[in-house]
Amino acid sequence: MSAVNQNIQMLPDHVINKIAAGEVIERPASVMKELMENAFDAGATQIDVEIVRGGMQLIAISDNGSGMNRDNAMLSIERHATSKIRTAEEVEAVSTLGFRGEALSSISAVSRFTLITRSADELSGTEIRVAGGRLQDVADAGCPPGTRMEVRNLFFNVPARRKFLRTESTELAQIRQLFAVYALAHPETGLSLTSDSRELYNLPGGGSLADRIAELYNASFFSHLRELDFKTDEVNVSGFAGLPQTGRKDRSDQYIFINGRPASAPIIYHAINEAYHAVLARGRHPSAFLFIETPPEFVDVNVHPAKKEVRFRHPAAVRDAVIAAIEKALVIEAPETERREPSFRFDAPKAPPQQQHELDIGDQRSDFRGQKPENQGESVEASSAGPPASDLRSPISSPSSPWAWCRVLGQAGGLYVVLETEDGVVLMDPQAAHERVLFEKFMKEITDGTPSRQGLLTPETIELMPADAEALRRQIPVLDEMGFGISDFGHDTFMVDALPVHLQAGSPAVVLTGIAKALEESGASARATREALRETVAQAACRVSVRAGDSLSTKAIERLVEDLAKTEMPYTCPHGRPTLIFTSFTELNRKFGR
């Protein structure tokens, strides 16, 4: 410790408040969060948010909640003053969104703050003005019951913090994303958001979660969701879970609400991954709107200064309930008249079908009729039990080929192909192999700048969440070069009239946001473009590849074997699953004691 200022002393209140503000108020969106939580706790049925210049000039929130009398209004701006808890024990069973009593004192310490409020039983309201933590004025005010809070010139007295704010558009995108989170958490409450005098959202109250999701997203997105309804003595899980095709690289479409509070917990993310692990590629995250209700005393919300994370007293019970709720939702088959997507099952592969085929993949039909050596006859079409052994010995010249020649022995269990090579026996998963072949074919066309563009019969309008829309908007020129036809209609709405032909089976919203977000994270270089495309193209290859349990003709298998041998990475599918499992003759001899 230096010799200067060694004496310990109490910090002045205005310094303490600025330090506290640094823990609670990170950016304009943090201010909006704290003020909206106060409005919800006050029982408001209508909350209106006004933003100017991304919240850096003004954040104003008006509500029709219970309001406050003058004495309570004066106390509300003091540090650690709250109406929501009285004892230390009550912290362990908090049922309100706010409880620490730090928000208003922290906000008023780093802004020019105005509070206008009136309770229903008061004839007049109260107006309080604070600048940089110093009380400026208290006066009577004529106002309706409820509360209006105005935060102007955020961080005007903390220049170092203001320098860390991003551009107005970025800060507004953060505000819009957080606004949407609270809109989902409270579909019963009417909400509006206005930015620079332009109305961005006007959401009516009194609706259901399904209504609110449809308002914020679109009908196409909602059709990919399944309702959650699962209860135990300790945990109630409701909301919606997405079908596997809603998977994306990040968790931005996963919303978790615990006793009505937007929050997170590692155990819940683990539960979601566990529920989808058998049906969704590693690194993909499905859409989820999870509402978890449990007794308040079983949740610790006092973990993070911004209340972003919680802990559970019985985490295993919560994890098991989330897994059970998702699995129950995804295996339900809707009535035929109501079904909008193919039902989804966790069942193991069934017996092989009687009819064999040549791997029809939508509009693209793979011609698995490879050239055979002259000393071989035509391959025999398979019987219903699977293709017979073929004497085909195809020389492969590719340096990445896993064999110099091979012979197809048959298809076991209606799924795995058995091959003999010069060194041993190979089991091939035809689904994983076909995914690899198609993936490299699709990627080559797109990254070579020669994608086949397919115009949509009817252009599709997609509306995205604010953060996704901002990312997509900046990447439209790059997406155009990839074969997408897309136009910005404003208000986070885009018109899509063409897709790369290999990606047309996917949802335009899912495909475009996945690529745009990846480009946003890594830049628009050629290498970044390839990385951004990789996962989306892998998903496209997965959708159109041969299915598990399909029984293939010998000709189809022979062509697939040849095509796989010519790929750059024949040993795994694009998601890392093995395509081939090899057992050498040496290993077989050893096991048989030869």
For 500-544, the pLDDT digits (tens) are 877 766 667 777 776 766 666 655 555 555 566 676 677 667 766
* Positive or negative: CA dihedral 468, 470, 471, 473: positive
Name the packing angle between helices 508-522 and 466-474 (round to 10°): 70
153: CATH: 3.30.565.10
Same domain, residue pair 18 and 137: yes
Q: Is residue 338 part of a domain?
A: no
Quick one: pLDDT band at residue 279, thresholds 50, 70, 90? Answer: confident
Average pLDDT over residues 304-315: 75
Residues 257, 166 within the same domain:
no
Residue with tokens 């802990």: 311
Q: Which of 372, 371, 368 is nearest to 550 (CA)?
A: 368
Domain annotation covers residue 2: no
**CATH code where residue 475 lies:** 3.30.1370.100
Task: Tell me, yes or no, whether 339 lies in a domain.
Answer: no
23 or 86, greater pLDDT:
23
* Same domain assignment for residues 505 and 402: no
Whether residue 238 is found in the same domain as residue 307: yes
Task: Say if residue 140 is in the same domain as residue 283.
Answer: no
Parent domain of 292: 217-330
pLDDT tens, 336-362? 434 333 333 333 333 333 444 444 333
User: Which of 157, 179, 206 is the endpoint of a domain?
Assistant: 206
Strand partners, 583: 425
244 and 367 in a single domain? The answer is no
Residue 431 falls in which region: left (phi positive, over 0), alpha (psi -120 to 50) or beta? alpha
Query: Do 222 and 187 share a structural domain?
Result: no
Q: How confident is the model at residue 23 (pLDDT cuts 50, 70, 90)?
A: low
Same domain, 47 and 175: yes
The reply to whether 550 and 537 lie within a common domain is no
Q: Which of 172, 206, 240 is the last residue of a domain?
A: 206
| CATH number of the domain residue 319 falls in | 3.30.230.10
Same domain, 159 and 179: yes
| DSSP 8-state code for residue 311 | E
Decide which of 160, 182, 206 is a domain's last residue: 206
378 found inside a domain: yes
Q: Is residue 8 part of a domain?
A: no
Tell me, what CATH number does 375's domain have?
A: 3.30.1540.20
Q: For residue 303, is it within any domain?
A: yes
d(CA 451, CA 447): 8
pLDDT attached to residue 18: 59
- For the chain, the domain total comes to 4
Which SS3 state, helix, strand or coil, does residue 32 take?
A: helix
In degrees to the nearest 10, what's the CA dihedral of 512, 513, 517, 519? Answer: 0
pLDDT tier, 11 (very low <50, low <70, confident <90, very high otherwise): low
Residues 280 and 424 in one domain: no
In a domain, 341, yes or no: no
Domain for residue 479, yes or no?
Answer: yes
My answer on whether 250 and 160 are in the same domain is no
pLDDT at 106: 87
DSSP secondary structure letters along 266-287: HHHHHHHHHHHTTTS-TT-B--
